[in-house]
């Protein structure tokens, strides 16, 4: 192998290594639940989380989840209620501002609801979720992987830097 071929191969390897070093790595995850029933009202109730099922890099305290780094995240929330509801809204609150509302049923009597969303968050964004049911009721506690698990919140980072 000639000296120029070796030099070219070395340069190509260095370029590949530079690409790998600058690639974004996903890795932050969080799954939260409650250990007890939560009374919710038509005026809206912010979900208070009580137990972490799994977590890496994303922190939380009572009602607030703190995003660790800029990037795209997927959020999933599932809930089961003590009664059939005509409708329910889940509201995503970021840094104290209602940024998105998810309509659960739309004139159909049901007692469970889930939604998924993808959103770009900035580092240290404070995320909360509020629930607005069509009638006062209870948000039931059902274990993960149970029928109509509730309330279960999953947040998974899709892109952006974290300390992996």
Give the residue among 60, 113, 117, 49 at the shortest CA–CA distance from 87.
Answer: 113
- Give the pLDDT score at 65: 98
CB atoms within 10 A of CB 111: 17
Give the residue among 94, 113, 118, 90 at the shortest CA–CA distance from 102.
Answer: 90
Three-state secondary structure readout of the chain: CCHHHHHHHHHHHHHHHHHHHHCCCCCCEEEEECCCCEEECCCCEECCCCEEEEEEECEEECCEEECCCCEEEEEEEEEEEEEEECCEEEEEEECCEEEEEEECCCCCCEEEEEEEEEEEECCCCEEEEEEEECCCEEECCECCCCCCCECEEEEEECCCCCCC
Q: Looking at the predicted structure, is the pLDDT value of residue 164 above 50?
A: no
Q: Looking at the predicted structure, is the pLDDT value of residue 131 above 70?
A: yes
What angle is formed at CA 113 by the lines to CA 111 and CA 118, rounded to 5 degrees? Answer: 175
Higher pLDDT, 12 or 51: 51
* pLDDT > 70: percent of the chain: 86
Q: What is the pLDDT of residues 74-127, one digit of tens each?
A: 999 999 999 999 989 999 999 999 999 988 766 677 888 888 999 999 999 999
Q: Looking at the predicted structure, is the pLDDT value of residue 56 above 60?
A: yes
Mean pLDDT of 119-141: 96
Distance from C-alpha of 49 to C-alpha of 16, rounded to nearest angstrom: 44
Average pLDDT, the chain: 88
Q: Looking at the predicted structure, is the pLDDT value of residue 20 above 70?
A: no
- Give the pLDDT score at 13: 67
Question: Which residues neighbour 2 within 8 Å (Cβ) at sequence distance 6 or greater?
Answer: none
Higher pLDDT, 22 or 131: 131
Which domains are present in the chain? Answer: 24-157 (2.60.120.40)
Higher pLDDT, 15 or 54: 54
């Amino acid at each position: 192998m000639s000296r120029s071929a070796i030099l070219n191969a070395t340069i190509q390897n260095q370029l590949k290594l530079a690409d790998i070093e600058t690639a974004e790595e996903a890795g932050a995850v969080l799954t939260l639940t409650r250990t007890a029933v939560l009374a919710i009202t038509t005026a809206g109730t912010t979900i208070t989380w009580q137990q972490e099922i799994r977590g890496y890099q994303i922190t939380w305290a009572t009602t607030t989840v703190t995003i660790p780094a800029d990037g795209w995240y997927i959020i999933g929330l599932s809930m089961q209620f003590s009664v059939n509801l005509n409708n329910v809204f889940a509201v995503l609150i970021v840094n104290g501002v209602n940024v998105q509302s998810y309509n659960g049923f739309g004139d159909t009597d049901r007692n469970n609801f889930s939604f998924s969303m993808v959103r770009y968050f900035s580092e240290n964004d404070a995320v909360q979720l509020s629930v607005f049911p069509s009638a006062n009721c209870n948000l039931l506690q059902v274990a993960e992987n149970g029928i109509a698990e509730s309330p279960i919140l999953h947040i998974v980072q899709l892109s952006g830097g974290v300390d992996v």
